[in-house]
């Protein structure tokens, strides 16, 4: 069976965003590969912030859910099915105010579900979606990777790790707001790294 890839994009600027450019590069590299690609743009199809009633719907047995709870639970169930069916989860992510877009956090809030994607044990939480990999395509205006200000990468790794995705690689395009020459060099380097990743994996 062909590898199944889930590509999540989250730039407020749509196709004009730098992280979207990295995602487009990734897709182009896959053009002649035998893979199945599912795409979800959490900006074009924004998710509402998680609410108490929606979380309660997950904790209610399916047979006991009201019509409203069925509708609320269906949103998370759809997103979960996409992740569960994937071998590789790719996150194309801009850095906004040292963090991830709130729309992407809303996506994570619906796939990080106790009893579904992880479970609590006496030794702490254990991920239930083992055997999958993750790839972070990160676009940043400044230089943050490897510094204390890069809280984004650990956050993403921890959230993916919570559900059992611990094989996570990251490709960065940084310094994008630090002059045209630096931007071009950084994007070229990131695009080359994406090409190498796809060639070595698929």
Q: Using N-to-C axis directions, what is the helix angle for 102-111 and 67-84, rounded to 10°?
A: 100
- The mean of the pLDDT values for the chain is 96
DSSP 65: -
State residue 52's pLDDT score. 97
Write down the pTM of the prediction.
0.96
Terminal Cα distance for the chain, rounded: 12
Quote the pLDDT of residue 161.
98
Arch. (CATH architecture) of 4-201:
3-Layer(aba) Sandwich (3.40)
Helix (H, G, I), strand (E, B) or coil at 45: coil
Query: What confidence score (pLDDT) does residue 60 get?
Result: 94
Is pLDDT at 153 greater than 90 in this prediction?
yes
CB neighbours (10 Å) of residue 105?
17
- Domains of the chain: which residue ranges? 4-201
Q: What is the pLDDT of residues 36-64, one digit of tens each?
A: 999 999 999 999 999 999 999 999 999 99
Q: State yes or no: pLDDT of 128 exceeds 90.
A: yes
Q: What is the pLDDT of residue 199?
A: 96
- Indicate whether 32 pLDDT > 90: no
What does the pLDDT read at residue 97?
94
Share of the chain above pLDDT 70, in %: 100
Split at pLDDT 50, 70, 90, the class of 162 is: very high
pLDDT in tens, 58-110: 999 999 999 999 999 999 999 999 999 999 999 999 999 999 999 999 999 99
Position 145 pLDDT exceeds 90 = yes
Asked if the model's pLDDT at residue 1 lies above 90, the reply is no
Mean pLDDT (whole number) for 185-196: 98
- Nearest partner of 22 among 138, 169, 179, 181, judged by Cα: 138
């Amino acid at each position: 069976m062909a590898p199944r890839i889930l590509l999540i994009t989250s730039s407020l600027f749509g196709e004009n965003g730098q992280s979207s450019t990295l995602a487009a590069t990734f897709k182009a590299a896959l053009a002649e590969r035998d893979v199945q690609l599912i795409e979800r743009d959490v900006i074009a199809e924004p998710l509402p912030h998680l609410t108490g009633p929606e979380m309660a719907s997950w904790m209610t047995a399916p047979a006991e859910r009201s019509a409203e709870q069925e509708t609320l639970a269906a949103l998370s169930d759809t997103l979960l099915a996409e992740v569960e069916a994937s071998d590789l989860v790719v996150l194309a992510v801009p850095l906004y105010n040292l963090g991830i877009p709130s729309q992407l956090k809303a996506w994570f809030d619906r796939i990080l579900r106790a009893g579904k994607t992880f479970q609590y044990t006496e030794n702490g939480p254990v991920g239930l979606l083992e055997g999958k990999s993750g790839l972070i395509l990160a676009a940043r205006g400044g230089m943050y990777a490897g510094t204390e200000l890069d809280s984004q990468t650990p956050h993403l790794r921890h959230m993916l790790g919570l559900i059992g995705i611990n094989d996570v690689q990251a490709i960065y395009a940084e310094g994008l707001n630090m002059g045209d020459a630096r931007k071009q060099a950084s994007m070229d380097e990131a695009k080359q790294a994406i090409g190498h990743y796809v060639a070595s994996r698929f």
